[in-house]
Structure 1
Amino acid sequence: TGVGSDLDKLAQKNGWLARFPMWDWVGGRTSVMSAVGLVPMALEGFDIDNFLAGAAAMDERTRINDFRQNAAMLLALMWFCAGNGRGEKDMVVLPYKDRLLLFSRYLQQLVMESLGKEKDLDGKTVNQGIAVYGNKGSTDQHAYVQQLRDGVLNFFVTFIEVAKDRHRAAFQVEDAVTSGDYLHGFLRGTRAALYEKGRESITVSISEANAFNIGALIALYERAVGFYGSLVNINAYHQPGVEAGKKAATRLLQLQNDVRGKLSGGTGKTAEEIARAIDADPEDVFHVLQHLASNDPRVQISKNEEPSDDKFSLAE
């Protein structure tokens, strides 16, 4: 929690075992290496020392001035070239490893929240960003690879390859062929099939899915996002669109309180009547009333042929 926050004060007052500070300048999407990510990982028995060591090693590799030797800069340049510097193509992430199932979702937030910006650093309207989607290679193999190969060319693919299948004995799918062999074949086969049709792809390979390599992989993408932000002249470390959504949600909660205050017993009122009374948008009021009637047993709804004529009341 933040130093001096209500939770921090409560913990201090009650003598809690430990408090782990957070800072306002650390965004949620870049907090994996902070207490936000490390404390839960440590409690689950994850090797956070090697995780941080991998991230630190990638930090060193991504500070190299020669872009040809800088993996994060090369990745950012590939994104830039694929989308003409304007995010014209979506990024499809296909990790061929069950342990990386959630990595695509992580990249959705990291990339889209960081790069999806209306204004650049000069205040010009640019509407930048890269849309990211994906699940895992073995699943997506049967979901949308058909469109990737033969459909609209509005994407580029990122394959994430893990060389080592497992530490335990391999599962034999058929004689002398393991499930890992199939995954490797699917990755290489899909990559080749897309290449035949001129579909662009990037392949990121790691030796195995261990703590060190996962830390390095996350650090690689964090740095690539920062470099791409510089290439297109945007601030990759704020999220005004998210803040706008939070403010809108706060306004809606206040509207809900206002609507509830106008409900009474008897024959009830329509959404239009309540909206006029509190000077609010009738559609917003209608949806608030529908929500209340579905979840608060005290709020009653008298349905009519037209939904706009439905009447809402408060049970006495």
Structure 2
Amino acid sequence: MEKLQLWDRYKERLYVSRKMALSLDTSRIDFPGGFFTEMEPRLQKAYEAMALLEGGAIANPEEQRMVGHYWLRAPGLAPQRALTEEIEETVNRVKIFATSVHDGAIAAPGGKPFRNLLVVGIGGSALGPQFVADSLGTPSDPMRPYFFDNTDPDGMDKVLAEIGAGLDETLVVVISKSGGTKETRNGMLEAKAAFTARGLDFTKYAVAVTGLDSELDQTAVREGWIERFPMWDWVGGRTSVTSAVGLLPAALQGIDIGALLEGARICDEATRSTATRQNPAALLALSWYHATGGTGAKDMVILPYKDRLILFSRYLQQLIMESLGKELDLSGKTVHQGIAVYGNKGSTDQHAYVQQLREGVHNFFVTFIEVLKDRQGASPEMEPGATSGDYLSGFYQGTRAALYEKGRESLTITVDEVSAATVGSLIALYERAVGFYATLVNINAYHQPGVEAGKKAAGSVLKLQGEILALLGRRKGEDFTAEGCAAALGKPEEAETIFIILRHLAANPDHGVGVAYGDQLWDSRFRAK
């Protein structure tokens, strides 16, 4: 009887878009009676706020900026003709540039074709491009993508080792809006050092995606890089994947960016509907609000049953957590909003954390992502009447049922296949859902003051490191404990930070700092070698 009731609820709740080849099932979300009626006035305000945003209103009040990532898929919606023309021109330039690289018209010195692509960026300048590259890449792509997405030297060495002898056929795309993001700046300099060590002129391999007249833009102009593409202050990093940030790497890899943009555009059209039950982004936002109590009380677990979508949860971590994780609401009230996001992939989850999801602490809700098409072509039978893809579908259905039996709620998004169009639709769907949810809980989804605070703190640490090195250099022959160093600098309150800095300096040969370990680690003594 319960299964029949769930079937009836499934038919009542299922959202289907044939244009997007996507459906959304909220039947395993236990909305209380009257919930939709109660939330409808607030959703109508969210639709109004979104319409104003798309019309060019200052939707990011703290930074006094428009928020225009939806225009990237429909340039005619931009509030100024000049913006429309800029967007259209950039997409055309991306396509022309990628074709020229693939045809060999733009090549490495000596006419050697570019076969590899090294993308240097961080956050939104890496996560979106990485997700698109991993979900849509094939062995026949004209260029193979690699990423510097951190300032970890060993990580960059690993990538360079994978590129190996192919460095002289590697195009480098450096992505930074301000050009001052330290992780990206460091990645660029590390790449430049690697090219120089091979006797290669880095400027003949480099392309910039950045803001007009930024530090990076000025460097690219001064050094004569191959090309420059724009980033705009009205597109945030986490919503930039359908700008040159994501489109240029995708086009160079050989992905159909026209289909990606069209999928996003079609989803944008669907999610402009003010009829809530016909708006999949509104249904997602309502599900999040119900599942978390509108306070982030539960985590969002993303479980794609497709290997190609394993990076989707990492992409959504930034989109959702950076957008919704805010201390203050728009009225200045302390709210500590946010939804934590994590995920793996099915059916790997069956052998990992599904045990806790089913029987452990109940602090989450699940979004399953089902892909109907198993592979290109037919599949062999694993046993009579069952392929490996049939097993994957069975495991998804079994996990969904097992969780619901224990009162654990879930959503399911189903797409026909993983294609450029469906990836575009998924990106646009979650961008809109984040915007709606932010209005429901009255926060600014389009700034990130916590990220900026972290950058400032890192700058203070590096400044202190400079002072430590200057002290050790002036007083060669002396050794210092962390506390002694702090006292000598007149900063006794910084002893812990100084100790951490000294340990790192002593572990690496770059700065010439030695250590003599004490009986207690914090009593170790450091000196200039």
What TM bracket, shorter-length normalisation?
over 0.9
2:49 aligned residue: none
The reply to whether residue 138 of structure 1 matches residue 347 of structure 2 is yes
What is the aligned-residue identity percentage?
63
Corresponding residue number in structure 2 for 1:286: 499
Aligned mate of 1:212, from 421, 442, 451: 421
Q: Letter of the aligned partner of 2:463 in structure 1?
A: Q
What is the correspondence of 1:1-316 to structure 2 with a 5 Å cutoff? 1-13=210-222, 15-263=224-472, 264-280=475-491, 281-296=494-509, 298-315=512-529
Cα distance in 1 for partners of 2:219, 2:516 equals 46
Contact map agreement 1:270 1:310 (CA 8 A) in 2 = yes
Provide the TM-score with structure 2 as the length reference.
Answer: 0.58
The question of whether the paired residues in 2 share the 8 Å contact of 1:117 and 1:127 is answered with yes
Q: Which amino acid in structure 2 is aligned with residue 288 of structure 1?
A: I
> What residue identity is the alignment partner of 1:152?
V
Q: Which of 173-182 and 287-296 deviates more?
A: 173-182
State the distance in 1 between where 2:420 and 2:490 align.
56
Quick one: structure 1 residues 262 and 11, their matched pair in 2 at CA, closer, same or farther if it must change by over 3 Å? closer
Q: TM-score normalized by structure 1?
A: 0.96
1:277–1:10 distance in 2 versus 1, CA, 3 Å: same
Q: CA deviation at 1:13?
A: 4.5
Which residue in 1 is equivalent to 2:176?
none
| Cα 1:279–1:267 shift into 2, 3 Å | closer
What secondary structure does 1:137 align onto?
coil
Residues 79-111 of structure 1 show CA distances to partners (whole Å, capped at 9, x for unaligned) of 000011101110111000011010011111111
Q: 2:433 aligns to what SS in structure 1? A: helix
Counterpart secondary structure, 2:351: coil
Q: 1:267·1:311 contact (CA, 8 Å) conserved in 2?
A: no
Q: Partner amino acid for 2:501?
A: V
What is the count of residue pairs matched by the alignment?
Answer: 315
Gaps of 5+ in 1: none
- TM-superposed CA distance for 1:171, in Å, is 4.0
Find the aligned partners of 2:524 and 2:223 in 1 and give their Cα distance. Answer: 51
Cα distance in 2 for partners of 1:154, 1:58 equals 30
Partner Cα separation in structure 1 for residue 509 and residue 410 of structure 2: 51
- What residue identity is the alignment partner of 2:498? V
Moved more, 260-269 or 143-152: 260-269
Q: Within 2, Cα distance between the matches of 1:238 and 1:170?
A: 47
SS of 2:300 mapped into structure 1 = strand
- Provide the aligned C-alpha RMSD in A: 1.3
Q: How much does 1:274 deviate? A: 1.1
Distance 1:173 1:285 in 2: 60
Query: Does the 8 Å contact 1:105/1:135 carry over to 2?
Result: no
Q: CA deviation at 1:138?
A: 1.5
